[in-house]
């Protein structure tokens, strides 16, 4: 997949180069790093206090990671965290930026096509975070278990429609299990490369390359995970502002089950209510799941969400188009500093 990466780099960051994956390091020593929080001229968002910096640099100013997951998606009370603007994303073409992002794991083609048909009809390009169950026949085995051939047509459709892609790990692990994020991300990338190669040969579209961006499963991450990801070529952790709650495993609403259910209308209402309470800020990242069973597209509710945002002055863009940082940065050099020195651990 060398050609994919060179084409992607030429498209968004001439001169940037890819990084090989390196096994992750644990929490780095505060004394060994000079950590800065970059606000890019924008006010710092308010909300729940963080336990790690949102932008980390080493003593020489070299960028280690950027964590855009601020404010947290849900505060302890369940109320939306308040922010007026984002230091991580900017307006695009003079319009506020709205980013639809979809995590892709246990995807069924019918659910995926429901979403993709609506995005195509509305002229919206989105960012999809790819996890092992979507591309591997057995995600625990990775490539050893073969590719999930059922989803290959969906992958082709995603690429042909002009969407972009980030990494969502091979096994979709919990942080508490202390996974090896270096291997998780590397093995997912190997599987994605294999799937794209099978579909397009050695000359795939430029947008088929994975961005140097990832999303932690369940949004669970810490400095160890963020640093390991950057050492492996993924310096940007992409969070969200508004969650559709389509992964809560509630039953689909029917006339019989009352309010103990979920559907497309509730997905859209939840996002619109939260963003309205934050005053329709300059940027908004929405998380949903390609495998959600609520037929968000066919219900017309995804269309309602898109139309409402557009009426409020937003343009729907991919994450890389609104990111304030260089989307071609390949991560902290694996052979340097914290990626190499095993002594820099607490």
Is 135 within 8 Å of 147 (Cβ atoms)? yes
Is 310 within 8 Å of 272 (Cβ atoms)? no
Domains recognised in the chain with CATH numbers: 2-340 (3.20.20.370)
N residues, the chain = 346
pLDDT band at 341 (very low <50, low <70, confident <90, very high): low
Query: Mind listing the pLDDT tens digit for each residue in 295-321?
Result: 999 999 999 999 999 999 999 999 999
Instruction: Judge whether residue 49 has pLDDT over 70.
Output: no
Is 183 within 8 Å of 132 (Cβ atoms)? no
Q: How far is CA 299 from CA 113, 126, 258, 285, in A?
A: 13, 19, 18, 22
Q: Tell me which of 224 and 44 has the higher pLDDT.
A: 224
Long-range pairs of 302-309 with CB within 8 A, sequence gap ≥ 24: 302/115, 302/118, 302/119, 302/122, 302/264, 302/268, 303/118, 303/121, 303/122, 304/268, 305/267, 305/268, 305/271, 305/272, 306/122, 306/124, 308/268, 308/272, 309/98, 309/284
Which tokens sit at 168?
């969502």
Query: Mind listing the pLDDT tens digit for each residue in 118-133?
Result: 999 999 999 999 999 9
pTM of the model: 0.83
b/e per residue 15-47 (b: at least 16 CB within 10 A): ebebbebbebbbebeeeebebeebeeebeebee
Instruction: Judge whether residue 40 has pLDDT over 50.
Output: no
pLDDT of res. 30: 31
pLDDT band at 338 (very low <50, low <70, confident <90, very high): confident
């Amino acid at each position: 997949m060398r050609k994919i990466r060179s084409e992607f780099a030429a498209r968004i960051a001439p001169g940037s180069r890819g990084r090989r994956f390196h096994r992750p390091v644990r929490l780095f020593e505060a004394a060994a790093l000079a950590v800065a929080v970059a606000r890019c001229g924008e006010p710092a968002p308010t909300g729940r206090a963080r336990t790690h910096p949102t932008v980390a640099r080493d003593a020489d100013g070299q960028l280690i990671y950027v964590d855009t997951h601020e404010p947290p998606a849900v505060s302890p009370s369940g109320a939306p965290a308040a922010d007026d603007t984002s230091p991580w994303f900017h307006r695009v073409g003079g319009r506020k930026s709205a980013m639809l992002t979809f995590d892709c794991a246990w995807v069924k083609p019918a659910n995926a096509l429901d979403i993709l048909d609506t995005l195509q009809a509305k002229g919206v390009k989105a960012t999809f975070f790819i996890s092992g169950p979507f591309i591997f026949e057995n995600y625990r085995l990775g490539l050893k278990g073969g590719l999930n051939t059922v989803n290959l047509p969906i992958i082709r459709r995603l690429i042909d429609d002009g969407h972009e892609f980030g990494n969502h790990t091979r096994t979709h692990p919990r942080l508490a299990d202390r996974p090896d994020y270096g291997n998780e991300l590397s093995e997912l990338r190997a599987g994605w490369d294999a799937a794209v190669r099978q579909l397009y040969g050695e000359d795939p579209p430029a947008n088929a390359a994975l961005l140097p961006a990832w999303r932690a499963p369940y949004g669970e991450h810490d400095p160890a995970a963020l640093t390991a990801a950057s050492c492996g070529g993924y310096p940007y952790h992409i969070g969200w502002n508004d969650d559709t709650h389509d992964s809560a495993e509630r039953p689909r609403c029917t006339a019989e089950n009352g309010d103990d259910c979920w559907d497309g209308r509730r997905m859209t209402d939840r996002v619109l209510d939260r963003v309205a309470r934050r005053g329709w800020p300059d940027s908004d990242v929405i998380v949903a799941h390609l495998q959600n069973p609520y037929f968000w597209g066919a219900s017309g509710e995804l269309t309602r969400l898109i139309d409402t945002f557009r009426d409020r002055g937003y343009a729907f863009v991919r994450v890389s188009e609104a990111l304030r940082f260089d989307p071609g940065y390949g991560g902290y050099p694996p052979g340097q500093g914290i990626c190499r020195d095993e002594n820099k651990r607490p």
